[in-house]
Structure 1
Amino acid sequence: MTFLISVLAFVVAIGLLVTVHEFGHYWVARRCGVKVLRFSVGFGRPLWRRVAGRDRTEYVIAAIPLGGYVKMLDEREEPVADKDLPRAFNRQSVWRRMAIVIAGPTANFLFAIAAFTLMFIVGVTGVKPLVGEVMPGSLADQAGFERQDEVLRVEDQSTPTWELVALNLLEKGLDAREVEVLVRTAGGQEVWRTLDLTDRRQLLADGALLDKLGIEAWRPWSEPVFGEVLAEGPAARAGVQTGDRILSVDGVSLSSWAAWVDHVRARPGETLEVRVERDGSPVTLTLQTEVHEEEGERIGRISAWPHVDNEAAEAMQRQVRYGPFQAIALGVERTWDMSVLTLRVMWRLITGEAAASNIAGPVSIAEYAGVSAVIGLSAFLSFLAIVSLSLGIINLLPVPILDGGHLLYYVVEIIKGSPVSQTAEAIGQRIGLVMIAMLMTLAFYNDFMRILG
């Protein structure tokens, strides 16, 4: 079921965003008087086809939903009747051709603004940025972060959710400097903590940002308290009961369920001495773990699950809604911020400071699409906005066959006073195809490596 949701969400998302992009080209081409022959969403065999309008434009939905195109009348591609010559794309002024080309990415940016705006109106749902565990020796530990710290600000930016904490830390960390973070401690004090983010390569390495900082977000099952205990399992045989709070194991104090899980997994088939608190009194239990195979590794297991505090889980959820005018301003701001951040990370990829494994392919995008669709409308709108502006940015790169490559040709044409030769364009097309093929190969490789673990 999850697979089907991911596939459906991916097809809807890519189909919608490709349509938006190509409609930008189509709309401006028509306004410039260019004759449009075909508007195709997808490649390959047509699944749906219709011919309409004064120009008898062919509208197509094709089988492979990984792109699309707008085919315009052009003498370089086929003979054009004398009466239609003024409407050929290649006969337009360089400024009109530039407008037509740039219209696709512009449509993606406008869509991102609209999606973010609607997201802010519907309501942004997030999780309160409360720290669960801090890994010893980590960047967060060195900065003095403690369990139950609530992150209030990253320098001048308010951070009501973990998403905004990560976004602002990444943005500030790209400058390779120390970043000031305001937290409210468990005792209610507001304290500034200094995170050393001077190692940009560590920040941009593969993996989740919080993991690299050494922070585990607090979750409603973070406390070391037993919930469901499977009958006849190792925990039940040892006398563990629902509600028991773990105090220590083998003489080592524990403060989180994650620490307990790590201890058990590392000791397959071993006997543990566990002290728990039950009804206010300490109880000592002897528990022998089972041996379980997981991805070729032997781990310990006890067939018990943590207690989930549903009230605390609800209290951790935050949803903020905005009026239409404020939402529009925030939509423009979020689109700008995410565009700048994307460009900065892309530059770090080019310079080798960011891990190439961060490049996601269609499989990962489909997975993100499915997850966001399940979470709700707000999350799916955010996903659509981010992918849309990413498409806009990528298409503006000065790579032949992309919109940015065509814009580069037109800039050269303006400078030299004549169009780039068809031979130069053909060579550029081949170079562009190789570059795109290499990028797609890397993206698919990253997808398969994630699947294989």
Structure 2
Amino acid sequence: MGFMAGLGGGIWTLAAFLVALSIIVAVHEYGHYIVARWSGIRAEVFSIGFGPRLISRRDKRGTRWQIAAIPLGGYVLFLGDSDPASAGPSKQVPADQRRHTIDGAPLWARAATLAAGPFFNFILSTLIFAAFVLIRGVAVETPTVGELSATPPGMVMELQPGDRIVGLGGKPVTEWADIYDTARDLPRADSYDWRIERDGREMTVQGPDPLPPVIGGVAPGSAAAAAGLLPGDVIWRIDGDRVLRFEDIRAKVEAVQGAPLNLGVMRDGQEIDISLSPKEQDIPAANGGFEKRWLIGVTAGSWFAPATQSVGPLSALAMGVTQVWEIIASSLTGLWAMITGQIGSCNLGGAISIAESTGQAANAGLGNFVWWIAILSVAIGFLNLLPIPVLDGGHLAFCAWEAVTGRAPSDRVRGALTSVGLALVVGLMIFGLSNDLRC
């Protein structure tokens, strides 16, 4: 039974990974294709996957659209290309057709076509993040109760959706940070005095601890995700000890230094047992550097959600762009920290860890899966912009050289650099896979 469950989980993980990868690759390659078409470069093949064709059709422009047997990427084959990566010299084409090849097109057209793939990845992520903002809204500025979560039997919950919070434990509050800071100074108790405004009147009601051991989010690839913890789970016990606040979870995780933990988790009114081992990770420190911390990969939740307000499409798009930029900036910081030795090489994962994280995101629900696709899309767009030959960024570097010097690198130089770049990429892939197995 355990083998079959593991096999089923492995198939589900692989399926989720292939779906996510196919969506991201399709958008990336479509960016190359459509900008090439707009700039006069002709595409002969648009393929999702490699190897033998499974399904194909040819459109009126002569491009063959196909799904191939090995669903681990994709490519656009342009007129005159000797290979899908556009890394080799163009095949001989008639002189009157050379303008429609990737090598014969003007520099601006080549650069735009190369940059379009990563740019479309960023567009996909921006649209997904913006869609989440449009659907969910953003928290209102004043602390206001939104949707209530199911609370355990016997817990006092007199708060109602729409209540505006103006005080906690006898102290005034004006924003969410005030509530959390005030709660930390209050003694542990089963319930607290919440001062609220309801229907134009101020009153005091009883409500639960604002810092409960409720899971708000689970990071894909984390110990919590691997163990099956889900948003909304309540961690009641750790190694038999009662847990009252989320900070108790943090303290216990730090104390065991990676030793296994036995969690008593409340889910849908049932208590289940889950075991996991914290992972040591490099995280950004307050001083701008990095510090090592033991983590299980969960964020704090609450017994109620903040009330939200809707935003317009332009504001949502702006928030989506900000989210994409923050991921890119974080990737740059992490890459530099790894190069300079500030963080360990185990932070570089390979295909196995990415696939596992994708499966875990899918297990957590459609919303988490789509959000994870957006994060992966940014990562793949960023990776492709690195100035390594065989990647889009490497070809853009060749374009930059041509723009500065007035001549393109020779086929010999480009071929040699491409071989070096290919060796580097393959080496990084092998290194990432080894990290998946040993870290």
Is 1:92 paired with 2:105? yes
Which residue does 2:326 correspond to in 1? Answer: 337
* Alpha carbons 2:238, 2:261 under 8 Å: kept: no
Tell me the alpha carbon deviations over residues 31-61 of structure 1, each in whole angstroms, 9 at most, x when there is no partner: 011111111112222222222222x211121
Tell me the alpha carbon deviations over residues 245-280 of structure 1, each in whole angstroms, 9 at most, x when there is no partner: 879xxxxxxx979999999x9xxxxxxxxxxxxxxx
Q: Distance in 1 between matches of 2:47 and 2:176?
A: 43
SS in 2 for 1:306: strand
Counterpart of 2:101 in structure 1: which amino acid? A
Could you say what the CA RMSD is over the residues aligned between the two structures, in angstroms?
Answer: 4.2
Which residue does 1:169 correspond to in 2? Answer: none
Q: Distance in 1 between matches of 2:238 and 2:66?
A: 57
Q: Distance in 2 between matches of 1:414 and 1:27?
A: 23
Is 1:21 paired with 2:28? yes
Which residue does 2:17 correspond to in 1? Answer: 10
* Per-residue deviation, 1:310: 5.6
Change (3 A) 1:32 1:183: farther
Counterpart of 2:337 in structure 1: which amino acid? R
* Per-residue deviation, 1:67: 1.9
SS in 1 for 2:92: coil
Counterpart of 1:67 in structure 2: which amino acid? G
Q: Distance in 2 between matches of 1:440 and 1:328?
A: 34
* Per-residue deviation, 1:398: 0.6
Q: Distance in 1 between matches of 2:13 and 2:432?
A: 18
Which residue does 1:120 correspond to in 2? Answer: 133
* Alpha carbons 1:119, 1:381 under 8 Å: kept: no
* Per-residue deviation, 1:121: 2.9
Counterpart of 2:434 in structure 1: which amino acid? Y
Q: Paired residue for 1:306, among 254, 264, 283? A: 264
Change (3 A) 1:352 1:224: closer
* Per-residue deviation, 1:309: 7.5
* Alpha carbons 2:98, 2:105 under 8 Å: kept: no
Name stretches of at least 5 consecutive residues in structure 2 with no aligned partner: 1-7, 82-88, 139-147, 149-174, 187-191, 194-220, 225-230, 271-299
* Alpha carbons 1:395, 1:402 under 8 Å: kept: yes
* Per-residue deviation, 1:374: 2.1
Change (3 A) 1:318 1:47: farther
Work out the percentage of aligned pairs sharing the same amino acid.
30
Change (3 A) 1:58 1:78: same
- The correspondence of residues 437-448 of structure 1 with structure 2, limited to 5 A, is 437-448=426-437
* Per-residue deviation, 1:445: 0.8
**Which of the pair has more CA radius of gyration?**
1
Q: Paired residue for 2:398, among 403, 409, 412? A: 409
Which residue does 1:52 correspond to in 2? Answer: 59
Which residue does 1:63 correspond to in 2? Answer: 69
Which residue does 1:355 correspond to in 2? Answer: 344
Q: Distance in 1 between matches of 2:319 and 2:383?
A: 23
Which residue does 2:86 correspond to in 1? Answer: none
* Per-residue deviation, 1:381: 2.1
Which residue does 2:184 correspond to in 1? Answer: 185
Q: Paired residue for 1:106, among 93, 116, 119? A: 119
* Alpha carbons 2:46, 2:64 under 8 Å: kept: yes
Q: Distance in 1 between matches of 2:333 and 2:40?
A: 38
Counterpart of 1:64 in structure 2: which amino acid? I
**What is the total number of aligned residue pairs between the two structures?**
316
Which residue does 1:221 correspond to in 2? Answer: 235
Q: Distance in 2 between matches of 1:256 and 1:73?
A: 62
Q: Distance in 2 between matches of 1:158 and 1:90?
A: 57
Q: Distance in 2 between matches of 1:435 and 1:103?
A: 23
* Alpha carbons 2:49, 2:69 under 8 Å: kept: yes
Q: State the TM-score, normalized to the length of structure 2.
A: 0.62
- The correspondence of residues 2-401 of structure 1 with structure 2, limited to 5 A, is 2-54=9-61, 56-74=62-80, 76-123=89-136, 184-185=183-184, 187=186, 220-223=234-237, 306=264, 308=266, 315-316=302-303, 318=305, 322-325=310-313, 326-401=315-390
* Per-residue deviation, 1:159: 8.3
SS in 1 for 2:64: strand
Counterpart of 1:85 in structure 2: which amino acid? R
Tell me the alpha carbon deviations over residues 384-436 of structure 1, each in whole angstroms, 9 at most, x when there is no partner: 11111111111111101111111111111111111110011001111001110
Q: Distance in 1 between matches of 2:222 and 2:402?
A: 45
* Alpha carbons 1:361, 1:446 under 8 Å: kept: yes
* Per-residue deviation, 1:447: 1.7
Counterpart of 1:43 in structure 2: which amino acid? F
Tell me the alpha carbon deviations over residues 42-101 of structure 1, each in whole angstroms, 9 at most, x when there is no partner: 2222222222222x2111212222222111113733121234223122121111111111
* Per-residue deviation, 1:317: 6.3
Change (3 A) 1:185 1:406: same
* Alpha carbons 2:233, 2:265 under 8 Å: kept: no
* Alpha carbons 1:109, 1:335 under 8 Å: kept: yes
Change (3 A) 1:257 1:104: closer
Q: Distance in 2 between matches of 1:90 and 1:361?
A: 33
* Alpha carbons 1:22, 1:68 under 8 Å: kept: yes
Which residue does 1:239 correspond to in 2? Answer: none
* Alpha carbons 1:43, 1:67 under 8 Å: kept: yes
Tell me the alpha carbon deviations over residues 159-193 of structure 1, each in whole angstroms, 9 at most, x when there is no partner: 89xxxxxxxxxxxxxxxxxxxx967415199xxxx
Q: Distance in 1 between matches of 2:46 and 2:53?
A: 12
Counterpart of 1:96 in structure 2: which amino acid? A
